[in-house]
Amino acid sequence: MYDFHSHILPNLDDGSHCVDESLNMLRESFRQGVTCIAATPHFYADHTSPDEFFEKRYLSWKEVAPLLDSDMPRIKLGAEVHYYEGLCCMDNLQKLCIESTNLLLLEMPILTWSTRMLDMLADLNGKQGVRILLAHFERYLPYQPKTTWDNLHQHGIVLQANAEYFTRRLTRRAAIKAMKNGEIYLLGSDCHNMNARKPNMVDAADIIKRKLGDCVLDSLNCQGWEAFNEMD
């Protein structure tokens, strides 16, 4: 399995608070069958510059890297980029993409998006070779008309769902329907710690397999493999 959204790097954001917690999260992810995971700490352009973010991410990565071993997944460095009006004008967007991919994991506001925001998404997708991967798209569903998703799909923007979308009873039926309709491109745990928001990819995978069969789960894993390896 491939995890495209996590907060496993220590002391960077609201995710892991120490190296030991990061290592435990990685071991648990691997135990669940995750072979490659994207480390995607929050990036807020109004809080820090890209260079400052990259420096902090590198220092955090340096704490973990020497301690990695064979019972942990490979790590691809990335970012969960928070939407802001000037994003289209940022140079070197590719540097914020998940390592070895052209995927920019983008977190949108939890509100009804304006036409201006949708136009920005369309303009941003493909700029500097970047492809938009909307983070935990299920969080936005109550605020958007169905036409929003059709519009984004037409522009080649793809959707990442959190494993919790499948594991929560209240949203499971909608998650299965979205997966069956081909709306979900990639999965992520969005794990932050080993308590309330721990790695949970295996639970989502079991539900997808049970409800939709091996072929759908295999197709999802194939998309994950292709995304992680397209630029290697």
Burial of residue 56, with CB atoms counted within 10 A of its CB: 0-12 exposed, 13-18 middle, 19 or more buried: middle
Q: Tell me which H or E stretch contains 159.
A: strand 158-162
| pLDDT tier, 166 (very low <50, low <70, confident <90, very high otherwise) | very high
Closest CA to 63 of 6, 13, 19, 20: 19
Residue 193 has pLDDT above 60, yes or no: yes
- Residues with Cβ within 8 Å of residue 150, at least 6 apart in sequence: none
Which distant-in-sequence residues (6+ apart) come within 8 Å of 79 by Cβ? 40, 41, 42, 43, 53, 57, 96, 105
| 3-class state of residue 81 by DSSP | strand
Q: At residue 91, does pLDDT exceed 60?
A: yes
For 127-155, write each residue's pLDDT tens digit.
889 999 999 999 999 999 989 999 999 99
Looking at domain 2-229, its CATH superfamily turns out to be: Metal-dependent hydrolases (3.20.20.140)
Higher pLDDT, 46 or 187: 187
Model pLDDT, residue 86? 84
Mean local confidence (pLDDT), 14-38: 97
Question: What pLDDT score was predicted for residue 89?
Answer: 82
pLDDT given at position 231: 60
pTM, entire model: 0.96
Averaged pLDDT score across all residues of the chain: 95
pLDDT band at 85 (very low <50, low <70, confident <90, very high): confident
Query: Residue 92: is its pLDDT beyond 90?
Result: no
Nearest CA to 19 out of 70, 68, 69 is that of 68
Share of the chain above pLDDT 90, in %: 90
Identify the pLDDT of residue 232: 55
**Domain segments of the chain as ranges:** 2-229
Please report which confidence band the pLDDT of residue 181 belongs to, taking 50, 70 and 90 as the band edges.
very high
Confidence (pLDDT) at 211: 96
Q: Is the confidence at residue 176, as pLDDT, over 90?
A: yes
